[in-house]
Structure 1
């Protein structure tokens, strides 16, 4: 694939470790020519990333990863090229960010019973204005010497199966899909069958999402097992949906590497053709 396209990355505006401009520079260094910035529940990094993209000759696909929940199961929805000033969509993700703060505070309270962690220690690992999340709790636990790295924290202490875990109160994926479409964006289901992360939604739920306007699946992602990727491609072909691939890069926060999974240029062209909210920033 000559044009290297990675459609899922995170900066320090949410739970990545690099500033948006540094993420773009990392993409250029990795030979990724088109990259999507999809921070959790925020578009704050778009402007900085756009400036860097033009300077580095990298094309930027502005996006966002929306926190959702369906029947108690966490769902992540990637929104591409939506209008960043759309009031209903941005009001919903603002509520999600506020829910993340409340959830994180409750988890710190639970963790503090067994570990020397405080809210101040978590905030110290969070960039100003960033969307706070469990990775920031993980960073505090690493600094305290409780675990070696973020991955170890998520495997044991911060897993949904842990007594310290608190679930998010967020929008349903059905409603989120409709909001993204109304904002001129294209909704893509992130790592839909990532069973290593916990429970995944049923195919019946996926069909409900398709009926609501889902645009595609993030198929080539390290957390989707091979058989799941095959099934997702079958479903996508049946409904003429987009199929994307990406790294889910978080800088040093995860082992994921830029460009480790890629999106076909034709799929990006189809995605752009559906969008009316904003445009790709050409570098």
Structure 2
């Protein structure tokens, strides 16, 4: 039987609802063989995840999802099979963490001007020791009765042009890919169709991504339609990139996105796991 891969998910180290240990237990229950924990701009959860993975018999890949800028467009880059303690990566992530903290305070200030007070201490509590994300602000707004659900909070307050939105000068795309490569990992552009870019622009992004050392693109996600998968597969082939897949799981309360519940990669693509080490290769048929 072929192993079940899920190479994109989140824990309480960023904006996921489950602790790393709980996430690994759920992955085991859902039949996942190889899991990559890819929290936003942090590797904080990987040590606890590794301990659980060893107990449960799951192959864990150290991963991360890093926010990056290209031509003033925010992109998300997945780093897979990284050394989380590599000094180049660690230094870059320290900068990202500082930016996240600054953004959170500015977002709270903007919401206060709209009569929504005390956002920062609330989101800091929601995030606990993890990185503060916009999802924490969305949850705060729901709890405060200012939005009916997360999407409503983004639509009313947190999306570009809305009262609580703060643009962030993330590291440039070439820097982020260099951090991942320095840490021995492989860089994958996450969910390429979710940026609402034109075909011309996504082609430009992927060409630049490959030029600076990116090697893969996410072809299948937990929310991909058949048309999304077809279009993403075409992009992978056109740009000579390896194909990755991952649920982007955050919360067990979302019935539409589940660990390991993914369509297969289309035929003719080069799976990203061909680039991983012996622990993964030993699982392949």
2:273 is equivalent to residue 269 of structure 1: yes
1:118 aligns with 119
Contact kept, 8 Å, 1:194 with 1:225, in 2: the verdict is no
Tell me, in whole angstroms, the C-alpha distance in 1 between the residues paired with 2:28 and 2:214.
Answer: 30
Displacement of 1:220 after TM fit? 1.0
Tell me, in whole angstroms, the C-alpha distance in 2 between the residues paired with 1:7 and 1:14.
Answer: 16
2:104 is equivalent to residue 100 of structure 1: no
Contact kept, 8 Å, 1:77 with 1:188, in 2: the verdict is yes
Displacement of 1:49 after TM fit? 0.4
1:142 aligns with 142
Cα deviation per residue 1:73-96 (whole Å; 9 max; x = unaligned)? 110000011222221222111111
- Local SS of the residue matching 1:169: coil
2:214 aligns with 214
Tell me, in whole angstroms, the C-alpha distance in 2 between the residues paired with 1:80 and 1:51.
Answer: 18
Cα deviation per residue 1:106-126 (whole Å; 9 max; x = unaligned)? 111111122244311221211
Cα deviation per residue 1:40-84 (whole Å; 9 max; x = unaligned)? 111111111011111112211110001101122110000011222
- Local SS of the residue matching 2:135: helix
Cα deviation per residue 1:3-31 (whole Å; 9 max; x = unaligned)? 22111000000111111010001111122
Tell me, in whole angstroms, the C-alpha distance in 1 between the residues paired with 2:21 and 2:185.
Answer: 23
Q: How many pairs align?
A: 275
2:190 is equivalent to residue 186 of structure 1: no
Tell me, in whole angstroms, the C-alpha distance in 1 between the residues paired with 2:51 and 2:79.
Answer: 21
Tell me, in whole angstroms, the C-alpha distance in 2 between the residues paired with 1:100 and 1:47.
Answer: 22
1:241 aligns with 241
Displacement of 1:261 after TM fit? 2.1
Displacement of 1:223 after TM fit? 5.3
Instruction: State the TM-score, normalized to the length of structure 2.
Output: 0.87
Aligned pairs (5 A) from 1:15-34: 15-34=15-34
1:85 aligns with 85
Off by >3 Å, runs of 4+ in structure 1: 198-202, 222-229, 252-255, 262-266
How big is the alpha-carbon RMSD for the aligned residues of Structure 1 and Structure 2?
A: 2.6
Cα deviation per residue 1:171-218 (whole Å; 9 max; x = unaligned)? 1112211221122110000001214xx557531222011111111101
Q: Judging changes above 3 Å, is the alpha-carbon distance between structure 1 residues 225 and 159 closer, same or farther for their aligned structure 2 residues?
A: farther
2:77 is equivalent to residue 73 of structure 1: no
Moved more, 66-75 or 245-254: 245-254
Give ranges in structure 1 of 5+ residues lacking alignment: none
- Local SS of the residue matching 1:68: strand
Contact kept, 8 Å, 1:5 with 1:263, in 2: the verdict is no
Greater relative CO, 1 or 2 (CA 8 Å, sep 6+) = 1
Displacement of 1:228 after TM fit? 4.7
Displacement of 1:246 after TM fit? 1.3
Tell me, in whole angstroms, the C-alpha distance in 2 between the residues paired with 1:252 and 1:151.
Answer: 16
